Amino acid sequence: MAFMKCLYQLTLLYLTVISSIQAQQKEVAVNYFFSTGDYIDNKLSSDQILLGIEAIGSDFIYAKDILDPLTGKQSSTGRKAWAIAYAGNAYVNLVYSNNANAPDLFVCIDMKGRFCLAVMDQEFMASLNKAIHYSRYTGKIYNPEGRVTSDGEYFNEAGELKRIFIIDTKDLSIVLPYKAKNAPIDLLTQSTLKWLVGKDDFKGRKKDYTVEEVIEIVEDLNRRQ
């Protein structure tokens, strides 16, 4: 019995240690695209920044810290970067969003062109709300309870709820305070979808469009650029 009790205690200790290690922040070194133009031109940085990962999903990365790997201090350049490169994909920083501003939360780009799209799974929303709530950029923060929660919501043909972000890479309207011209990444609203489709062809409601239809619309627009 004493042996079994000791084994049980050692097992609990082992599981506790493993859980503690897994809970520790993961750090990932990444290159970055400082501006929208750098991303379009595939001009990846030669240096890297270090992300302290708060959460990571199939289509997003939420960084608790963005550090200079040489000094271990917060990286001003890293926080200003428009996008990062990770596992062969580009992730855009939502600090450049007007209607979902969440600094240090990066979303994966699924389509590149004049218009870029990011189609997000629902698990992303927990990190979005957390990033907004704990934003250090209090001047841009908005109340997640008060915002329009249906912004960017679309169902795919399988009935799964997604969030869609869109970027018009020719809309380089974000200039200050970084002195680099950058495009905003915003949740795809009904008014923007209507502009993309054309007033005469628009079905009348955002919810009448599936994710697949939105992708087809944007792909067609990109082909005609």
The model's pLDDT over 90-125, given as tens digits with 9 standing for 90+, comes to 999 999 999 888 889 999 999 999 999 999 998 888
Task: Write down the pLDDT at residue 130.
Answer: 74
Task: Write down the pLDDT at residue 35.
Answer: 95
Task: Write down the pLDDT at residue 145.
Answer: 44
Inter-axis angle of helices 211-223 and 190-197, to 10 degrees?
50
pTM summary value: 0.82
Task: Write down the pLDDT at residue 221.
Answer: 97
Q: Which residues of the chain have pLDDT under 70?
A: 1-25, 132-150, 176-178
Task: Write down the pLDDT at residue 148.
Answer: 39
Q: Are 29 and 53 in contact (CB under 8 A)?
A: no
Beta bridge partners, 101, equal none
In the chain, where are the structural domains located?
Answer: 26-189
Tokens 């469009």 correspond to: 209
Query: Which CA distances in Å does 139 have to 100, 131, 142?
Result: 14, 14, 9
Task: Write down the pLDDT at residue 177.
Answer: 63
CB atoms within 10 A of CB 53: 14
**Which of 191, 185, 194, 196 lies closest to 94 in space, CA to CA?**
185
Q: Are 187 and 165 in contact (CB under 8 A)?
A: yes
What does the alpha-carbon distance between residue 92 and residue 85 come to, in Å, rounded to a whole number? 9
